[in-house]
């Protein structure tokens, strides 16, 4: 049943003709930004080949994925706009994807659609539809909007694709937290992103009250963690601390560190008021305390109280409770490793592997402890015992099998924008985008998606060069730029081994990447030859195993069989070391930006940090490289000592990266905000602000964006 409400008029202090959007706490959203205003008509516009195809494909894909149990987080929110072309007496559809819209009620989606209507001067007959997937009840929220006084709100059951369900208070809460989880997970991981997807900052744009409300909503849904799922290529099962809900909560708290203790107090309240799920709240409390600054005593006491209380009698625990205990012991191990107390961490890690042997983190922590204690033989044996995980999460694989991006996007690949619009679609879009000139229009049409450049976050050189040549970097192939540059640029790479080692076919599954890092720790301590000698003294290779079976070599009987995946990993390490150390790019200053990027990424992989930083920095100087920038800033965040770049070099990379992400509608920028937090902690807000103002890249658009971020930091640090 469709439900129709009339909107209520609200008093506004904004200028006439503007619309003030409010979140669930009444805070203004999409109001004037400081400095230059962010125009809402600068959103991407994907032109449909057939009217309504985006809505139909969305529902059929959700239904199919749900039937195969691979729907997971679902798709980003979708905004569809139906225009009427009077000259051809036909409907024309356009749409775009978006995350971060507050769907706790119909207010913000309707406000967003209303703002689009006003800013883009829609005709009276224009109808828009807002969609948001509820991952708990498997419903797709649909808000059909004609104007502020006429709109319909309902939800469609994804299993049938037809049955409409009225929205209740519970369904609104579920839809809201579903959207927040997606916004946080998608923003941190390029493999979830779609080209031209708008990413709105979640909850931090409207003050402490709004952010606290989101934290409380997260905590309220902790008992339903299983319904949110997890990346099955990282963990074989969903657990209280391994799920998208807790991942998103911790990511949100990293954006609002001031709220860590508020979150802990809310979890303590829920522990008292909901004793049935008390252990879940306490587990998450331990994790939140571990992630917060200056909470070591609270972390240790919380873990100790839970181990000695709820998990006291291990012999009586069910499998699900053993998994909870293992999660807690792994957290305790990580805490002790962080405090460099490896002798205490070792027995805890060892016990965790015995409780639930198929838990990846337990074996990883055990091997890491042995490496720190210089017991490399035991470390290799622990690595060999790691359970194999899936090569790719089946839900993420299913997400990309739909092929949303292939429907509408054409990568520039070094050649600039190329249109796939028909002449009628092109001319119609041009009339809707006035005062855009035709010559400018040609620079912003990528296939069937029109991507206007917003002045917010703009650095002209970044927008006009790297952004125009490369476009948005997204999807399973986004770990480097091979899939985003021209064939000519790829063909110009003289040392083809760099292409081979960075190719998609040589991309390691996540669990092998983690073991690779541990092997590189040993290599850095013993050298490659030392690792080989250690391997030969411990393991039997497959060819040697055949000899053992024939009993012709009794000395092999004392050795362990090396797992095939680990044998493969040794070869991967060897190939990477050989290529990275022998690359001509290290001696040839004429290498291209792509070559420097590929070499830098390989050096990061093999833990040659200083050389990696130099190569990635050179790549960015040749042509701004968003993958190199993301990698460098990630290294800066993880570095606890002196980083081999100056503050001005870091700021150059950061400003360029903020601008690049902003060009493709990312106003959330989780990692860039973390970098600003770290710089702010070292230099202070005003000093940092002044250094940015004095920077050569400090154009009006990027300064506006950075000012906004620094305002958030002052509020939430």
Across all residues in the chain, what is the average pLDDT?
Answer: 90
Residue with more model confidence, 49 or 121:
49
Model-level pTM? 0.92
Per residue in 318-347, pLDDT (tens digit) is 999 999 999 999 999 999 999 999 999 999
d(CA 131, CA 505): 36
Q: Buried (b) or exposed (e) across 335-367, using 16+ Cβ within 10 A? A: bbbeeeebeebbebbbbbbebbebbbbbbbbbb
- Does the structure show a pLDDT above 50 at 261? yes
pLDDT for residue 560: 86
Token output for 451: 């991507």
Per residue in 70-112, pLDDT (tens digit) is 999 999 999 999 998 887 888 999 999 999 999 999 999 999 9
Indicate the fold that domain 201-385 takes in CATH.
Answer: 1.25.40
Mapping DSSP onto H, E and C, the string for 363-398 reads HHHHHHHHHHCCCHHHHHHHHHCCCCCCCCCHHHHH
Q: Report how many helices (DSSP H) and strands (DSSP E) the chain contains, helices first.
A: 31, 15
Per residue in 394-418, pLDDT (tens digit) is 999 999 999 999 999 999 999 999 9
- Does the structure show a pLDDT above 70 at 288? yes
Q: CA dist 566 to 12, 364, 369, 516, 605, Å? A: 64, 14, 19, 9, 17
Mean pLDDT lowest for which of 41-45, 577-581, 640-644? 41-45
- Establish whether the linkage from the previous residue to 435 is cis, with ω within 30° of 0: yes
C-beta of residue 328 within 8 angstroms of C-beta of residue 286: yes
Domain ranges for the chain: 45-168, 201-385, 487-495+583-716
- Does the structure show a pLDDT above 80 at 590? no
Per residue in 201-255, pLDDT (tens digit) is 988 988 999 999 999 999 999 999 999 999 999 999 999 999 999 999 999 999 9
pLDDT for residue 641: 80
Backbone dihedral angles phi then psi of residue 119, each to the nearest 5 degrees: -70, -30
- Does the structure show a pLDDT above 50 at 183? yes
pLDDT for residue 124: 79
- Provide the percentage of residues in the chain whose pLDDT is more than 90: 80
The helix/strand/coil state of 126 is coil
Q: What CATH number labels 487-495+583-716?
A: 1.25.40
| 282-302 mean pLDDT | 96
Nearest residue to 198 via CA among 420, 451, 413: 451
Q: CA dist 258 to 23, 204, 211, 712, 716, Å? A: 21, 12, 10, 11, 5
Within this chain, domains 201-385 and 487-495+583-716 share the same CATH topology: yes
Nearest residue to 77 via CA among 54, 99, 57: 99
pLDDT for residue 552: 54
Mean pLDDT lowest for which of 4-18, 117-131, 651-665? 4-18
Handedness of CA 156, 157, 159, 160 (dihedral sign): negative
Name the residue with tokens 């006491």: 301
d(CA 187, CA 199): 7
Q: CA dist 326 to 11, 291, 321, 557, Å? A: 54, 18, 9, 33
């Amino acid at each position: 049943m469709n439900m129709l409400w009339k909107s209520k008029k609200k008093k506004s202090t904004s200028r006439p003709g503007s619309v003030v959007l409010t979140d669930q706490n009444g805070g203004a959203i999409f109001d004037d930004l400081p400095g230059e205003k962010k125009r809402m008509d600068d959103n991407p516009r994907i032109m449909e080949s057939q009217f309504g195809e985006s809505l139909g494909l969305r529902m059929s894909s959700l239904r199919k994925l749900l039937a195969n149990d691979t729907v997971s987080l679902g798709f980003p929110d979708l905004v569809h706009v139906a225009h009427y072309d009077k000259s051809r007496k036909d409907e024309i559809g356009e749409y775009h994807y978006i995350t971060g819209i507050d769907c706790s009620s119909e207010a913000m989606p309707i406000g967003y659609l209303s703002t689009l209507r006003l800013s883009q001067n829609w005709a009276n007959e224009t109808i828009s539809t807002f969609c948001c997937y509820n991952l708990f009840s498997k419903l797709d929220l649909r808000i059909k909007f004609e104007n502020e006084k006429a709109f319909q709100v309902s939800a469609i059951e994804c299993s049938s694709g037809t049955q409409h369900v009225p929205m209740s208070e519970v369904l609104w809460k579920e839809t809201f937290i579903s959207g927040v989880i997606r916004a946080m997970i998608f923003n941190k991981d390029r493999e979830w992103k779609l080209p031209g997807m708008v990413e709105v900052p979640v909850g931090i744009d409207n003050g402490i009250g709004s952010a606290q409300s989101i934290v409380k909503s997260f905590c309220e849904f902790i008992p339903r963690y299983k319904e949110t799922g997890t990346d099955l290529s990282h963990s074989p099962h969903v657990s209280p601390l391994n799920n998208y809900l807790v991942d998103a909560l911790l990511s949100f708290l990293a954006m609002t560190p001031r709220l860590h203790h508020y979150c802990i107090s809310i979890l303590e309240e829920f522990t008292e008021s909901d004793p049935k799920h008390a252990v879940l709240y306490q587990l998450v409390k331990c994790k939140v305390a571990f992630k917060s600054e200056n909470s070591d005593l609270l972390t240790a006491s919380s873990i100790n109280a839970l181990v000695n209380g709820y998990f006291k009698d291990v012999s009586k625990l069910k499998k699900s409770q053993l998994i909870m205990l293992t999660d807690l012991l792994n957290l305790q191990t990580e805490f002790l490793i962080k405090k460099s107390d490896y002798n205490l961490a070792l027995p805890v890690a060892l016990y965790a592997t015995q409780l639930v042997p198929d838990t990846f983190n337990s074996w990883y922590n055990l091997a890491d402890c042995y490496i720190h204690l210089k017991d490399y033989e035991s470390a290799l044996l622990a690595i060999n015992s790691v359970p194999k995980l899936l090569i790719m999460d089946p839900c993420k694989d299913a997400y990309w099998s739909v092929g949303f991006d292939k429907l509408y996007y054409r990568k520039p690949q070094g050649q600039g924008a190329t249109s796939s619009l028909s002449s009628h679609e092109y001319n119609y879009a041009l009339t809707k985008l006035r005062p855009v000139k035709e010559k400018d229009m040609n620079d912003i049409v990528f296939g069937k998606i029109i991507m206007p450049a917003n002045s917010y976050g703009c650095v002209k050189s970044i927008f006009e060069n790297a952004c125009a040549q490369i476009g948005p970097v997204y999807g399973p192939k986004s770990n480097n730029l091979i899939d985003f540059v021209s064939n000519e640029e790829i063909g110009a790479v003289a040392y083809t081994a760099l292409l081979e080692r960075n190719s998609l076919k040589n991309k390691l599954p996540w669990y092998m990447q983690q073991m690779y890092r541990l092997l590189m720790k040993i290599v850095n301590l013993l050298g490659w030859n030392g690792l080989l000698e250690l391997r030969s003294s411990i393991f039997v290779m497959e060819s040697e195993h055949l000899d053992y079976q024939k009993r012709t070599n009794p000395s092999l009987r004392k050795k362990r069989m090396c797992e095939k995946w680990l044998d493969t990993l040794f070869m991967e390490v060897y190939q990477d070391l050989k290529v990275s150390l022998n690359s001509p790019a290290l001696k040839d200053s004429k290498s291209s930006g792509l070559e420097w990027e590929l070499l830098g990424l390989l050096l990061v992989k093999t833990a040659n940090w200083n050389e990696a930083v130099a190569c990635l920095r050179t790549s960015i100087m040749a042509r701004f490289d968003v993958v190199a920038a993301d990698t460098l800033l990630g290294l800066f965040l993880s570095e606890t000592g002196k980083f081999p770049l100056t503050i001005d070099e870091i700021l150059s990379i950061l400003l360029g990266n903020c601008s690049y992400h902003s060009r493709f509608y990312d106003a959330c920028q989780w990692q860039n905000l973390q970098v600003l937090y770290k710089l702010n902690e070292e230099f202070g807000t005003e000093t940092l602000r002044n250094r940015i103002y004095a920077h050569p890249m400090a154009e009006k658009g990027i300064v506006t964006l950075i000012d906004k971020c620094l305002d958030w930091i002052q509020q939430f640090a």
